Amino acid sequence: MTDLVSERARRVEILLMDCDGVLTEGFIFLLPDGAELKAFHSQDGHGLKLAKRAGIRTGVITGRRSTALEQRARETGIEFLCQAAGDKAQHLAELMAAHGLASEAIAFIGDDLPDVPVMERVGLAVAVANAVPEVKQAAHYITTRAGGRGAVREVVELILKAQGQWNPEFLFFA
């Protein structure tokens, strides 16, 4: 982690992310009845719980609507859930205005082109390892782990360590 990334991570109060390709590997399984299946990584879920426990708020801004994501948000304590977001940057602006958030206090994790406008407006822009080149170009930090494979957990650890909040006791709670 560079000093610049560490400095940006120290200011983070809220961690936002895309869903497909970040919280998942990006696969969307559609069943004949219209139901959708998604696979979430347990380490990402634990990371989201660690963030919440440390006082970091979390949220998702995604272009799709998914009941699976709604369930995962409840399980992991994701506070802000914006689905079917055609213009993710507009939803970011609304979230910032509604909650009095400064751009420097926000981190965003993305993987694909619709995420770039959000990444250009936040204090810490993160691309997952398997993001498209344009997203990596917009990022302050690129994870070593792929989306849906623990990248969110990696970012939570980065933020908590930069803020001096990483504590092994976090690893053992129900």
- Digit-coded pLDDT (tens) for 70-104: 999 999 999 999 999 999 999 999 999 999 999 99
pLDDT of residue 157: 95
pLDDT at 174 over 60: no
- Digit-coded pLDDT (tens) for 112-134: 999 999 999 999 999 999 999 99
Nearest 10 degrees: Cα torsion 23, 24, 29, 31: -30
Whole-angstrom distance, CA of residue 35 vs CA of residue 38:
10
pTM given for the model: 0.94
Cβ distance 54 to 33 under 8 Å? Answer: no
pLDDT at 49 over 70: yes
Three state DSSP letters for the chain: CCHHHHHHHHCCCEEEECCCCCCCCCCCEECCCCCEECCCCHHHHHHHHHHHHCCCEEEEECCCCCHHHHHHHHHHCCCEEECCCCCHHHHHHHHHHHHCCCHHHEEEEECCHHHHHHHCCCCEEEECCCCCHHHHHHCCEECCCCCCCCHHHHHHHHHHHHCCCCCHHHHCCC
- Ranking 19-23, 25-29, 58-62 by mean pLDDT, the lowest is 25-29
Give the pLDDT band of residue 35 (cuts 50, 70, 90). Answer: confident
Whole-angstrom distance, CA of residue 7 vs CA of residue 145:
21
pLDDT of residue 172: 56
Domains defined for the chain, CATH in brackets: 3-23+39-163 (3.40.50.1000)
Residue 63, beta-bridge partner list: none
Two structure tokens written together for 39: 């696979």
Whole-angstrom distance, CA of residue 50 vs CA of residue 128:
19
pLDDT (mean) for 149-154: 97
